Chain A
């Protein structure tokens, strides 16, 4: 039997809920104006863009801008660096908020828990202009971290900021430090949504806290984790411009020049077509990853998990 005999048509449903729809209208208009409208601007990625001729008056250039992008020495390197940094962030950074949320969840003293929570999400509100300056000071050759290393017996200062590998480690670690507390908020919200009955039942069955965590808490967090993971994949070509721009130096350009810093250099040269092509490349890859991972999540969970 076909669906349409059982369900009212979409238009009828819409008219039935017209009040609610009216309320979503401002949001829809906002998205159309500020998010969908500007997408038309992507045409300049396929144009020989001349500003005074406008977006539509400029000549078509086919894929020339993309060819120019990938023919340069620096863009493929920037893509590689972006991917490296992003995967490291994802690999190490994804679980940090989960662990933090689980730990916070175990705290029983309310004021202590709130205190720790505030302290851990506070760094999220500091701009990288400030944080970058602080970390440059902390990690430089004569800085406190190296002084400490010296006390522990290091003969040479460790080149935290000028050695490529160390720089990436510092980048990822400080990024986690800045973002974990903020990221934990969502998980804490998910944790508070778990029914106490589940825990009570488990306690009656004699489960200890560790077993409760494994058997109840973590499985209940999985939907949230999957949604956040899919969304994080969408940003895989966004490696954290603010942080890198405020911390990098000529010695680490070869590992820290990412797509966004590359695009910025092109923008300053008013080469908007190339910058748009690079931006579009980022978005398309992000879209494919989000759609693909969502599809996989749905396949593997029998249609229960996923963003949509």
Chain B
């Protein structure tokens, strides 16, 4: 080949590659960041009579959700909207959504569960600023409930002094998460009451291992197979009993500290190390990441966490925990295990708290800010009107569901049986459009008396412990350090519990934790903590009600 020919062929190849690469880029178009003028909110007027198109990517939902459900039609009619919903399941949220956003397909309203997600959306120019004052002006009742039930959520939508979306809350989530025991096993080993302290728990687990609780003549049971698939579950009941949360920021003497490097965490690990050594914990628990609760279901263990709702105990429901246990052990009986008592005798249990997620608004709405106002007004209307609230969450009373004092709120046929039908009519997540739950004001009235008593007995608000910032991810360097640091901490903890790493290395662990970014995160958390007070003052959330 001559050099001319070589040159020619190379040039042709390069040209083809360049043309191909530029085709998608051309349609994308480069937008200037930070150039769009901020909205002059004072002058924005929303005419409630004007019909408005609204694309809506709500909370992760089951894919059987369809456009045109009763709930959607109802809201469309009442608020003059034409909603175009996008339903994503968990995989779709993680995989399809980034592609949609990258391709410029940004919805008007977009849910995100995680402060880091909000930051990523902001960094990538997908979402717009929404000043606190605008929310306060158009949705004062909503804000009042938010401030009362989940004010930490203001941090989730906050970045460098500005607010980027509507924080959401889940009032029911303020109750602590609790555990579940095999009642028949406790009786079989001669224990009368559900364990209330770490020592009583130890005694029960010990007998579960050594006193043949399933009465089959073999030593084939363990006390507990701890779930470690998510840090928020890992040994959390033990840490709480020692007054710490190992994977959260908590307050100590006015300062924010990481609960996992406190002496209380070491005490908890010492206890767990002893339990593991005595054979009380299933030796395969480190593999539990994908089999949450399986050992409890098939009668290998007699204790599990978390089991938070009365329906877990419902034998009429084929998929309930109680039904699954019965399938293996016909005599199996379950009993709720409220949080353990700490050294002072007070029950302590972790909760996520009422602060939930963020509903963000696409950056393109800077050109149509009246859409934001309409959504805020819709939120306000739903929050203030019980009938509308129930319709937005569960569809129509009398058609789709009814209430009886014995059973509480129940789906009516055919929506109680046919999942596809109920998916099409009612959506699959009751917080898809109205993203918050105001349980004590509305939902709880439609619980059965038994359920209300169950929650009041087993999950008292006063027992709850939560992250002082709601979610640790709100600190600015979280995306850089927090995820990897949590994984590493989990590894160290599990190694200490199974004896692969001596507990005497706990101090070295603290040093390394700080070096790996923990020190930076803690400093930022304290900074956020002081900013949080300012935000609370701005939005009028000066008291933590629950």
Contact = CB atoms under 8 A, between A and B. Distances in A.
Interface of A: 4, 9-11, 32-33, 36-37, 39-41, 50-57, 72-74, 133, 136, 140-142, 157, 161-163, 249-251, 253-254, 257, 265, 267-272
A269 B120 contact: yes
Interface residues of B, number: 51
Contact of B483 (A32, A51, A269, A270): A269
A239 B34 CA distance: 41
B5 to A, nearest CB: 5
Given A10-B5, A253-B491, A56 B25 contact: yes
B487 interface: yes
Nearest to A271: B479
A1 B115 CA distance: 72
Contacts of B106: 52
Contacts of B120: 269-271
A140 B16 CA distance: 54
Contact of B491 (A136, A141, A251): A251
Does more than half of chain A's interface fall in helix, strand or loop, or is it mixed? helix
B445 interface: no
In the A-B complex, the 9 residue pairs with the smallest Cβ-Cβ separation, listed nearest first, are A57-B30, A52-B125, A40-B21, A51-B124, A270-B120, A141-B283, A37-B20, A140-B284, A54-B28
A249 B104 CA distance: 37
A51 B101 contact: yes
Interface stretch (B240-248, B460-468, B493-501): B493-501
A257 B488 CA distance: 11
A249 B495 CA distance: 12
B494 to A, nearest CB: 5
B414 interface: no
Given A50-B33, A162-B498, A265-B483, A55 B283 contact: no
A74 B484 contact: yes
Interface string B1-30: 110010001000000111011000100111
A73 B32 CA distance: 34
8 contacts: A10-B5, A37-B21, A136-B290, A249-B289, A265-B484, A267-B98, A270-B98, A271-B479
Contacts of A267: 98
Contact of B494 (A55, A72, A250): A250
A52 B5 contact: no
A270 B124 contact: yes
Contacts of A162: 286-287, 498
A247 to B, nearest CB: 9
Contacts of A140: 284, 287
Given A37-B21, A54-B29, A250-B494, 20 more contacts: A10-B9, A32-B20, A39-B17, A39-B21, A40-B18, A40-B25, A51-B124, A53-B32, A73-B484, A136-B290, A140-B287, A162-B498, A249-B286, A250-B490, A251-B494, A251-B498, A253-B487, A253-B491, A270-B98, A271-B120
B479 A251 contact: no
B287 A36 contact: no
A257 B284 CA distance: 20
Interface in B219-256: 228
A133 B18 CA distance: 45
B317 interface: no
A53 B101 CA distance: 12
A73 B2 contact: no
